[in-house]
Chain A
């Protein structure tokens, strides 16, 4: 489950100007990296060119990659290229997040984009919804385990109750015998 690139472009009447882009090309061989980067940029630009200005979110599957595209109403668009396993929802939320952050800072944006890309490589940790879901699921598993432990404890407690009852009965018998022994064998 990987993200390969993240690009922001400005779409203006069928012309697309790329603004910032971040790539993670570590899964390609050294010599393929340059071509892969150019190819991804080109694909992203092409897809944004071809999509209508108000098409919003869309996913375009390629050979084994999926290109998520988000065209906003104010002519800004974001493209995220990932492999086919990456959940579409997380990719789209990443695009929304990044496009919102565009307005906050301009110069440091490139580094920020790289950071976001690196962060979102693991969708379970980065996306809040996934994180919450994972946490809640873990908690549920732990609670089920606790319940099982509790039921074991209940069984053991049952056992203990029985045994201590038996013990107290036997000690009482012991006391009675001792008393009788003292009473009756006194004369000897």
Chain B
């Protein structure tokens, strides 16, 4: 909306410029007074067009930075446990911060231009254009403030997500990642400071304080690193021992189950032995009866044949 208003003004100024140029070219000789009369107007127009161009550029930059902030918000929200797009997010954060800086400076220069342009001329028409440029600058500043607000929210959500991820990772693997979180709060603190002490235009991005804090953190980190690594090793050892305990218990259970199987095998084999022994005995008896029966049979048959013979002799 800012851009469209600017364009109309610019069109008018361009038209007047062309008219002035035409009149200048037509009356070149006696155009001293005419050119003098036109030159302040031309200068004024020139300033107006410059202001409008700057404002338009600032508006376009604001829009693109807004889109980037939205993308950053999306990325920060969908941080899952394993799909970490950390380098992208950091790059985007850096780019957005640069853009905010540039926009800051651009709006500052815009304000300068509008103020300079109006300080030279004291005519009644200037009143309207002054209010107009003031409102333009104000609108741009409010948009910038809104966007930096949103940027800060995005950073906060990202810290939240990181913390949640770390908690979930700790739950699953029982290791700590305290060092990760140390960097993020200092970043946020930096952002908080610069947003708290900022007027809308003079957002002071002094990184010096943040650097000192980072150095202090690094020193503390080095001192704590040794203790942290010892604690980590201890935790690892403890975890391995717990695992070992579980393995031993499982071992005992499986051995007890297998004991039952062994006893079944034992019983079956015993049964088999008994059966085979019994069958063997039966067969022996059978063999004995078979071998001993023949004598009996012979004797019995012999008696029968004698009886047969007597019967036949007696009857015939």
Contacts and interface: CB of A to CB of B under 8 A. Distances in A.
Interface of A: 55-59, 87-89, 92-93, 129-130, 132-133, 136-137, 139-140, 143-144, 146-147, 150-151, 153-154, 157-158, 160-161, 164-165, 167-168, 171-172, 174-175, 177-179, 181-182, 185-186, 188
User: For chain A, what secondary structure do more than half of its interface residues adopt (helix, strand, loop), or is it mixed?
Assistant: helix
- Give the residue among B261, B273, B275, B276 with the most A Cβ atoms within 10 A: B275
Contacts of A153: 258
User: For chain B, what secondary structure do more than half of its interface residues adopt (helix, strand, loop), or is it mixed?
Assistant: helix
Interface residues of B, number: 44
Contact of A136 (B219, B226, B237, B257): B237
Contacts of A179: 279, 282
Given A164-B268, A175-B282, 14 more contacts: A59-B222, A89-B229, A129-B234, A133-B240, A140-B247, A143-B244, A160-B261, A167-B269, A168-B268, A168-B271, A171-B273, A174-B276, A179-B282, A188-B293
B230 to A, nearest CB: 6
30 contacts: A55-B223, A56-B223, A88-B226, A88-B229, A89-B226, A92-B226, A93-B230, A129-B237, A133-B233, A139-B244, A146-B251, A150-B258, A154-B257, A157-B261, A158-B261, A161-B261, A164-B264, A164-B265, A164-B269, A168-B268, A168-B272, A174-B279, A175-B278, A179-B279, A182-B283, A182-B289, A185-B286, A185-B290, A186-B293, A188-B293
Contacts of B233: 89, 129-130, 133
Nearest to B240: A136
A131 to B, nearest CB: 10
Contacts of B264: 161, 164
B231 to A, nearest CB: 10
